[in-house]
Amino acid sequence: MTGQAAQFLDYLAAERGSSLYTQRNYRTALEEFETWFRDCRGAETDWLKVDSKAVRAYFQAVSYRKKRLHPNSVLLRIAAVRGICKYLVRKGLRKDNPAREIKGPKKPKRLPKYLSLQDVNRLLEAPSKAEGEPWLRARDRAILETLYGGGLRIQELCGLKEKDLQLDEGVVRVFGKGRRERWCPLGDVSLGSLREYLQLRGPGSPESPVFWNKNRGSLTTRSVQRLMKIYLRAAGLDPNLTPHKLRHSFATHLLNNGADLRSVQELLGHKQLTSTQVYTHVSVREMKKSYRKAHPRA
């Protein structure tokens, strides 16, 4: 990777507060562009001199691969190339952004998948029925309860520190996309599972991660994904469902039970209301299903 790209990634981490997930994806995308540039142009990438012709040629090559990329993957690559050029323009190192006019494929509109309340309950009960050390079973239960009870993203959950917990107030502080801070309320069941876990786990410090691995270090997102898969199987559910489905379930169940859209937006930490509105389509679909099932003239 070129020094210019490395500096851009440092900027994303230090100044933009981008998640590790975003940093990793941007790194992969920029490395891919630099590899393509080297193979096609026979030279290392100088991001100060990359022009719109090269950018268009790259995305044309991406679009006509034998193995078609998902539209989201193409959009990610555009965002990464556009992002580094925008960064260099802001730094006064470039006059223009050669990727500004690049248009990607339309993002497919898909309704978020979610679990029924019955399935959520089966999943949340699974750690209590598992074997293993009591504090680890309590940890896993607290993780699932917090993901569903607070609607947290997996990165937000893994980033929780003890100083972010205000259990007596019934809230936890999380840092979402772009390091935006918000306070998430938790219900009695989620709070109870956290208290039980912390008591069994033992004392830490304000800077300690809330969720420990076996070596008292931070639990990784990959570890959370693995344990979710284990408990999905134990509950007789699709093991390919991701932790993010609990966030979808959180939002959908709130709206189905009468929560207003603006409140759900705040709880999810969405910057734009349009990001939250997708859940209203799910709720309307459920209402129509109930209507057709119950109304005598449906």
What is the longest distance spanned by two Cα atoms in the chain?
Answer: 72
Closest CA to 149 of 119, 172, 132: 172
Cβ-contact 141, 190 below 8 angstroms: no
Q: Report the C-alpha gap between 16 and 35 in whole angstroms.
A: 26
19: region left, alpha or beta (phi > 0 left; psi from -120 to 50 alpha): beta
Q: Report the C-alpha gap between 142 and 164 in whole angstroms.
A: 15
**Residue 191 tokens, joined:** 């709070």
Q: Report the C-alpha gap between 139 and 193 in whole angstroms.
A: 8
Q: Report the C-alpha gap between 255 and 237 in whole angstroms.
A: 23
Sheet containing 165-166: order of strands: 165-166, 171-175, 181-185
Looking from the CA of 89 toward its CB, the CA atoms found within 13 Å total 13
Q: What residues form DSSP beta bridges with 209?
A: 161
Q: What are phi and psi of 49, to 5 degrees?
A: -115, -5
Cβ-contact 111, 285 below 8 angstroms: yes
Helix, strand, coil percentages for the chain (3-state, nearest 5): 60, 5, 35
Active site residues: 153, 177, 244, 247, 270, 279
- Write down the H helix ranges in 106-208: 117-129, 134-150, 154-158, 188-201
**Residue 78 tokens, joined:** 């555009």
